[in-house]
Structure formats: structure tokens, C-alpha cells
């Protein structure tokens, strides 16, 4: 069911000609609640007509109150109750039937030279009664981040994309790009600040596209995701429901005081309190299927919560792929009791990721144990000259739009 059409035909016609839409969101001009954290987080519930405070998280959700695009409710036969915490936010969306490139320009309070999580959700829910989900591209700035592809049989599916992005500018553009395979749309857009010291890559300016983030060992828990308020950085941790034949799920009943731990990644207590341990061999094995066309970063999170009191240790080797010497990466580590430890393994382009093996060395008293894992793809970057050219085009567009709006005597700001 369509709620309303939020556009003015005069403005929209100009935007189609320019093929570039800027939906400007200025966090400094928005009244935020909930203290320091809420003032640094941007949460946009796309398609709602006014903002609100979520009763579960106490986060402020804002309306994308813009003059472009059309807002809809999803079909009443679909619901997303299995997506914890954000069921309400997935009931509405904004679609962009006009223009080639439609952008949300976010202006976070912390500004430039800062690392952020940028996350978006897409819940089709047959909002247009066509039973034909679209295919379209998502760009972060000028770089292709992801292609959103929902097949006809997946009208009730939710796609989540997430990137860790270091912004060298005060604003960040997330753009929906029409590739002539249906109308782009978006349900929810979020931005969270991160500590610049974590999720390091070979270059500070590289953007990391999340492929996998699993919380391990929590097979019997009811929640399918762990996120804020449990994770103070707003990450979404998917609870892996299956276990391999040689995995033994572990969970500690001891209270974990995060303030007493030295953990720059600030993993939630719910993630630290569960793990998988090798049960029938001296190794844990995780099969993956990420091709050779990209560069990757693997983050493995260890927290040994089993106190045996007899100085037993876990001395491990992590082996990626494990084929011949040119196609594998090996990294040793020692896991200590009650001390979080995150290791980062870069995988060069041309290798791919087929297998992650964590094995105990001959000197280890205990089998391997792992609490969580994350895998990211490094997003290819256009060269700086192209980015500068894109920036000049954006500024020129805003100037031309101002002139045209004034000439047409239209009231309002360019958003």
C-alpha cells in the first residue's frame, strides 16, 4: 500500500535531467536524544513521515523527509519478526523511480578523518504488488559497494549490507544506482562511529565490505542477531545455528565485566561468553567460498573463558586455504585465559578463501577454541583524480539546482 508520494514534479524533473539526486541529511540540525551516543549515530527509517525514539534501544530514528522518491508500506502478508530489533523499521521504504543515481548524503557529527560503520537494509515485501524484486547497485561515494539482487522467490527476504569506511571528508554519500533492472529502494540506513585503531587495513582509506560476521557457540539461544544495546559499536552479530561434526559449543556462566577487559574491539559479553572448541580432532575447520577476484581481511576473535587452574595453554596455528605454499597463509598465536585476542589476516587478491583451519600445535595442552569470526572484502577504489572530478560535479550540480529552483520560484531547500 502506498502511503504518499513525496515529490514535487517540478523539482523531480530537474533531477532526472541532472541524473544525480542529493538527499542531504545534516545531523547537526536534528534534535537527538539519548545522550552522547545517540548524538553520534545516524539512524534513518526510510519512508516514515516523522521521527521517533525506539522503545527497545532508546535510539532516535529520523524520517528521510525529502522531496524525491516515493514512500510505501510493504505488503501486509509479509512480516520480518525474525529480524530482531528492527521489525518496525522494515515495514516502510523509499523507492526512487526517477533519476539514475539517488544519494543520501550523511553528515556525521564527528566529521572527517573518522572510521564509521555504514549499514543499510532492503526489505522488498512486494510493496509494489509486482512480485518482481529489482536489481540495482549501491555506491559508497564513487565506488561500487554492492549489487542488490532479490529474486522473484525472495519477496520476504531482507538484504543487509555493511561497510567499514574511513571518511576523509565531512560528508558521506550512499547512492542507489538504477541499472535498468527495476526501481531501487531502501528500508533503513544507519551510520555508527568506530575507533580508528580497529579494523586496520593495508591503507587507512580502504573500505571494507562485510561478508561474514558470526557469533559462534550460541546454538541454543533464541536471538538470531546480537546488536545494540549489547554491542556498543552497533555491529550486528549473526548467531551461527549449525555446527560442524568436530565442534563442541561452549558457554560460560561467569559474568564478563567489559570494563575490566583490554579489548579495543569491544566485543559484546554475549559474543565473548560463547565459543566452539574442537571435540574430535586437534583442529577447527570453517569452509568458505570467496573467489580470487578480491582482496580480503579475516578477523578471528578469541577469548578463553575456561579456567582449569593447572596452567594448561592453547597454542594454535591459523591456516587459510592450506594448499601449496603459494596459496596459503599461516599465523601462530597463543590464547591466554580471560584475555581477548583478535588477529587480522590479510588475503591478497588472487588467493580467495576456501578454508579456515585453526589447529593446535604439538606444544598445546588444549584444543582450538574460537568465539567469533569476521570476513571483509576490500572495496576497489577509483583513483583520486576521479573522486575529485566527482566532487566538482556534485558542487556544480548543487549550484545549478539552486539557480533553477530560484528561476521556477519553488520554495524550500535542496535536500
- The domain that contains 362 carries what CATH number? 2.60.120.260
Distance CA 7, CA 69 (A): 6
Within-domain flag for 203: no
Residue 369 located in a structural domain: yes
Shared domain for 82 and 152, answered yes or no, is yes
For 3-25, write each residue's pLDDT tens digit: 333 333 223 322 322 233 445 44
Looking at the domain assignment, is residue 415 inside a domain?
no
Reported as a single tens digit per residue, the pLDDT across 299-356 is 999 999 998 777 788 999 999 997 555 667 889 999 999 999 999 999 999 999 999 9
**pLDDT > 90? residue 30:** no
Which pLDDT score is estimated for 12?
31
C-alpha cell at 46: 526510510
The reply to whether 133 falls in a domain is yes
Task: Please state whether the peptide bond connecting residue 229 to the residue before it is cis, i.e. omega within 30 degrees of 0.
Answer: yes
Query: Is residue 411 a part of any domain in this protein?
Result: no
- Answer yes or no: do 250 and 310 share one domain: yes
Q: What is the CATH number of the domain that holds 97?
A: 2.60.120
Residues 184 and 219 in one domain: no
Domain count, the chain: 2
Is it the case that residue 266 has pLDDT exceeding 80? Answer: yes
Question: Which string of b and e fits 9-35 if b means at least 16 CB within 10 Å?
Answer: eebbebbeebebbbbbbebeeeebeee
Q: Smallest Cα–Cα separation from 299: which of 352, 336, 347, 343?
A: 343
**Does residue 38 register a pLDDT over 90?**
no
- Distance between CA 130 and CA 124 in Å, rounded? 11
**Structure confidence at residue 149 as a pLDDT band (50, 70, 90):** very high
Domain that holds residue 369: 209-378
Which of the four pLDDT bands, split at 50, 70 and 90, describes residue 360? Answer: very high
**Domain final position from 165, 194, 223:** 194
pLDDT digit string, tens, across residues 197-241: 999 877 777 899 999 999 999 866 556 788 889 999 999 999 887
97: left (phi over 0), alpha (psi -120 to 50) or beta: alpha
Among 71-85, 268-282, 342-356, 399-413, the least confident range: 399-413
Mean pLDDT, the chain, rounded, equals 81
3-class SS of residue 234 = coil
Is 158 in the same domain as 225?
Answer: no
Residue 398 lies in a domain: no
Residues 131 and 226 in one domain: no
Beta bridge partners of 359: 283, 317
3-state SS of 288-302 is EEECCCCCEEEEEEE
Cα–Cα–Cα angle for 187, 188, 192, nearest 5°? 165
Residue 225 and residue 314 in one domain: yes
- Tell whether 69 and 140 lie within a shared domain: yes
Query: Looking at the structure, do residues 305 and 240 belong to the same domain, yes or no?
Result: yes
How many angstroms separate the CA atoms of 401 and 14, rounded? 8
Cell of 147: 549489487
Residue 10 falls within a domain, yes or no? no
Residue 405 lies in a domain: no
Q: Quick one: 131 and 159 in the same domain?
A: yes
Q: Rounded to an integer, what is the distance from CA 354 to the centroid of its chain?
A: 22
Separation of alpha carbons 277 and 359, rounded Å:
11
Amino acid at each position: 500500500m502506498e502511503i504518499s508520494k513525496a515529490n514535487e514534479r517540478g523539482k523531480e524533473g530537474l533531477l532526472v535531467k541532472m541524473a544525480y539526486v542529493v538527499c542531504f541529511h545534516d545531523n547537526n540540525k536534528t534534535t537527538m536524544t539519548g545522550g552522547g551516543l545517540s548524538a553520534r549515530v545516524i539512524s534513518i527509517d526510510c519512508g516514515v513521515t516523522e521521527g521517533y525514539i525506539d522503545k527497545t534501544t532508546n535510539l532516535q530514528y529520523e524520517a528521510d523527509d525529502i522531496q524525491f522518491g516515493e514512500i510505501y508500506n510493504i505488503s501486509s502478508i509479509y512480516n520480518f519478526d525474525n529480524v530482531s530489533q528492527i521489525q518496525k523499521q522494515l515495514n516502510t521504504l523509499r523507492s526512487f523511480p526517477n533519476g539514475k543515481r539517488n544519494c543520501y548524503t550523511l553528515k556525521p557529527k564527528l566529521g572527517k578523518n573518522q572510521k564509521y560503520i555504514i549499514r543499510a537494509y532492503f526489505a522488498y515485501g512486494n510493496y509494489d504488488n509486482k512480485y518482481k524484486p529489482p536489481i540495482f547497485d549501491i555506491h559508497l561515494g564513487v565506488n561500487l559497494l554492492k549489487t542488490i539482487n532479490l529474486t522473484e522467490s525472495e519477496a520476504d527476504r531482507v538484504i543487509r549490507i555493511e561497510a567499514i569506511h574511513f571518511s576523509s571528508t565531512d560528508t558521506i554519500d550512499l547512492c542507489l544506482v538504477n541499472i535498468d533492472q527495476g526501481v531501487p529502494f531502501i528500508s533503513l540506513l544507519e551510520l555508527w562511529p568506530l575507533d580508528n585503531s580497529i579494523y586496520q587495513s593495508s591503507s587507512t582509506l580502504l573500505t571494507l565490505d562485510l561478508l561474514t560476521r558470526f557469533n559462534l557457540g550460541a546454538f541454543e539461544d533464541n536471538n538470531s542477531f546480537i546488536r545494540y544495546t549489547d554491542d556498543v559499536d552497533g555491529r550486528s552479530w549473526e548467531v551461527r545455528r549449525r555446527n560442524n561434526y568436530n565442534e563442541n559449543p561452549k558457554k560460560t556462566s561467569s559474568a564478563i565485566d567489559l570494563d575490566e577487559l583490554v579489548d579495543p574491539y569491544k566485543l559484546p559479553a554475549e559474543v565473548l561468553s560463547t565459543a566452539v572448541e574442537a571435540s574430535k580432532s586437534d583442529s577447527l575447520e570453517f569452509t568458505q567460498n570467496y573467489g580470487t577476484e578480491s582482496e580480503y581481511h579475516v578477523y578471528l576473535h578469541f577469548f578463553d573463558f575456561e579456567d582449569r587452574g593447572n596452567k594448561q595453554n592453547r597454542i594454535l596455528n591459523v591456516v587459510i586455504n592450506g594448499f601449496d605454499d603459494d596459496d596459503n597463509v599461516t599465523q601462530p598465536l597463543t590464547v591466554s585465559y580471560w584475555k581477548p585476542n583478535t588477529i587480522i589476516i590479510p588475503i591478497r587478491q588472487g588467493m580467495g578463501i576456501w578454508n579456515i583451519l585453526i589447529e593446535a600445535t604439538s606444544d598445546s595442552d588444549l584444543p582450538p577454541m574460537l568465539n567469533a569470526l569476521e570476513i571483509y572484502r576490500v572495496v576497489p577504489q577509483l583513483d583520486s583524480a576521479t573522486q575529485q572530478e566527482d566532487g566538482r560535479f556534485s558542487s556544480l550540480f548543487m549550484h545549478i539546482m539552486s539557480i533553477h529552483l530560484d528561476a521556477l520560484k519553488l520554495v524550500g531547500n535542496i535536500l
